[in-house]
Structure 1
Amino acid sequence: MTVHDMEKAQATYGGFMATLKWAVPVIAVIVLIVVSLIAS
């Protein structure tokens, strides 16, 4: 891989991890709401 490709790969990975940090808690809250609705 060239240096430029590595920089693009690191930028993509960084963006993915930033999105994941927000998505996981949001999904967890949605799951808790759905489970509580099903349980009641």
Structure 2
Amino acid sequence: MADHSEVAYTTADGNDYIEHERTYEGFIALVKYGTAAVALILILMAFFLL
């Protein structure tokens, strides 16, 4: 059997945690503002279409 005592990504060369955090923060911002935009569209649709 293979030795699985060490996780591969922790020893991989070239891990860029700063870029990883920037990407995650960008994703969170996209979800936050995207959700707000969809909610605004639904509110405007309810106001103008009823």
TM-score under structure 1 length normalisation: 0.63
Aligned partner of 2:34 in structure 1 is 20
Query: 1:1-40 CA distances to partner (integer Å, 9 max, x unpaired)?
Result: 511100000000001111012110111233344545xxxx
Stretches of structure 1 lacking an aligned partner (at least 5 in a row): none
Aligned partner of 1:8 in structure 2 is 22
Question: Aligned letter for 1:8?
Answer: R
The structure in which a higher percent of residues are helix is 1
- Percent pairwise identity: 11
TM-score under structure 2 length normalisation: 0.54
Q: How many residues align?
A: 36
Structure with more relative contact order (C-alpha pairs < 8 Å, separation 6 or more): 2
